Amino acid sequence: MSIVGRVPLAESPDEQTSEIKRIVVSRILGTAVEWYDFLICGTASAVVFNKLFFPLSNPTRGTIAAFGTYGVGFLARPLGAAIFGHFGDRVGRKAMLAMTIVIMGLGTFLVGLLPTYGQIGILAPGLLVFLRLLQGIGLGGEWGWCRAHGGRECARQEPGVSGLDGTARLSDR
């Protein structure tokens, strides 16, 4: 009887470090894309949403209404975290992460295609609020997954590393 190959009992430190780097880079990129979508929407709220979706009110009220639609995305984040946290435990976290990114990207894409108040009337601001709700749900699911999964993986790969604050860093010992 001969031994065909050796199976390592543990990963080498270099493999652990590269796995942690991969996790951190993927978390940073995913979160950057999600927050970039929020930045785009915030800028559009300040510059054009008041004119395109709320033209009948005075400019100040239109701007307040536009920022109100922007705020809907922030209010929906806890809902997204609860939904995707629940289904992430049942279906799988990676599948849910992919779904959150698709939801966020699709919401942003559809906001770009949204007809204005002049074209479809009161339905335009309603659809804008609905799409902001979708974006907030997507961001809430992605951000929660990012923090939970990344922190757990970093701590598992290298003791003394904490990733629960959205970034991986060496903790104080």
Per-residue pLDDT tens digits for 48-72: 998 999 988 788 999 999 999 999 9
Residue reference for tokens 């003394």: 160
Q: What's the pTM value of the predicted model, to 2 decimals?
A: 0.73
In angstroms, rounded to a whole number, what is the distance separating the alpha carbons of residues 105 and 50? 22
In angstroms, rounded to a whole number, what is the distance separating the alpha carbons of residues 44 and 53? 11
In angstroms, rounded to a whole number, what is the distance separating the alpha carbons of residues 168 and 147? 10
Q: Which residue has the higher pLDDT, 117 or 161?
A: 117
pLDDT at 22 over 80: no
Q: Confidence class of residue 116 from pLDDT cuts 50, 70 and 90?
A: very high
| Tokens, residue 18 | 């590269």
In angstroms, rounded to a whole number, what is the distance separating the alpha carbons of residues 149 and 19? 13
pLDDT at 99 over 60: yes
What is the pLDDT averaged over residues 130-138? 92
Cα torsion angle, 40, 43, 44, 45, sign = positive
Q: Confidence class of residue 170 from pLDDT cuts 50, 70 and 90?
A: very low
What is the pLDDT averaged over residues 141-155? 65
| Tokens, residue 131 | 């799409």
DSSP state of 137: H
What is the pLDDT averaged over residues 26-51? 83
What are the residues facing 170 on neighbouring strands? 161
Name the strand (E) or helix (H) holding 169. strand 169-170
